[in-house]
C-alpha cells in the first residue's frame, strides 16, 4: 500500500503553481492508494482560495 501525505500547500498570494504542478506529476506517478492532505490549505482562508484549492487537488488521480 502506498500512502502520500502532503501538508501546508497554502493556496493564496504566494502559492507557486509551477511547483504544485510538479508535485501532482510526482504523486500521480507513484499511483498511491491514498493521498492525505494535512495542514493549511490556504493562506488567508478566503473562499476564492478554497475554490482554487479544490480545483488544484482534483488533479490528483
Q: Where are the domains of the chain?
A: 3-57
- pLDDT tier for residue 52 given thresholds of 50, 70 and 90: very high
pLDDT digits (tens, 9 = 90+) for 2-44: 999 999 999 999 999 999 999 999 999 999 999 999 999 999 9
For residue 27, give the nearest of 1, 53, 6 by alpha carbon.
Answer: 6
**What was the pLDDT predicted at 55?**
98
Amino acid at each position: 500500500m502506498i500512502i502520500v501525505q502532503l501538508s501546508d500547500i497554502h493556496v493564496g498570494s504566494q502559492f507557486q503553481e509551477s511547483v504544485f504542478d510538479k508535485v501532482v506529476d510526482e504523486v500521480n506517478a507513484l499511483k498511491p492508494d491514498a493521498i492525505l492532505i494535512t495542514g493549511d490549505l490556504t493562506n488567508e482562508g478566503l473562499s476564492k482560495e478554497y475554490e482554487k484549492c479544490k480545483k488544484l487537488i482534483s488533479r490528483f488521480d
